[in-house]
């Protein structure tokens, strides 16, 4: 049987991840980046606040006594945030983008792709607490 603590962490994370998918959802990566840039252009702190799973990953890493799976979750979420910031800067601020990257970010996304985090991250949380 699954421990109540593990179940609570999983439920909280899934709800936070659904929230992030909800506000970022678009048909292309460019659409997702445009939505993120709207928050970024208002205030970078607003951009960070709109990613609650990043803070959950920091909290969870500490609560799991820096378990390897907790650190992995944190590193993946950090890489995700850094990549988003780099792409926003490159596309919307510097306005320098290669043809290949343009093709990639304008390609249509599969409707289930934004939900991949809901399947990827909970096993890390589960394994960190076992």
pLDDT digits (tens, 9 = 90+) for 49-92: 999 999 999 999 999 999 999 999 999 999 999 999 999 999 99
Confidence of residue 1 (pLDDT cuts 50, 70, 90): low
Interior angle at CA 57, CA 55 and CA 62, nearest 5: 100
Q: Looking at the predicted structure, is the pLDDT value of residue 10 above 70?
A: yes
pLDDT value at position 2? Answer: 72
Place 130 in a pLDDT band, splitting at 50, 70 and 90. confident
- Cα–Cα dist 31/48, whole Å: 18
For residue 5, the model assigns a pLDDT of 87
pTM of the model: 0.90
- The percentage of the chain sitting over the pLDDT mark of 90, rounded to a whole number, equals 93
pLDDT in tens, 113-122: 999 999 999 9
Q: Residue 108 in contact with residue 8, Cβ under 8 Å? A: no
Segment 3-7 long-range contacts (CB within 8 Å, at least 24 positions apart): 3/129, 5/129, 6/125, 6/126, 6/129, 6/130
Q: Is residue 11 over pLDDT 70?
A: yes
Residue 21 has pLDDT above 80, yes or no: yes
């Amino acid at each position: 049987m699954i421990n109540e603590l593990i179940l609570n962490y999983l439920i909280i994370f899934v709800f936070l991840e659904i929230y992030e998918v909800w506000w970022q959802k678009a048909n292309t990566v460019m659409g997702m980046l445009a939505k993120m840039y709207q928050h970024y252009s208002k205030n970078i702190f607003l951009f960070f606040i709109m990613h609650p799973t990043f803070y959950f990953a920091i909290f969870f890493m500490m609560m799991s006594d820096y378990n390897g799976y907790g650190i992995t979750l944190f590193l993946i979420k950090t890489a995700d945030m850094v990549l988003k910031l780099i792409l926003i800067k490159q596309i919307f601020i510097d306005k320098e983008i290669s043809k290949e990257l343009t093709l990639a970010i304008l390609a249509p996304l599969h409707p289930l792709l934004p939900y991949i985090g809901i399947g990827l991250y909970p096993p890390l949380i589960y394994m960190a607490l076992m």
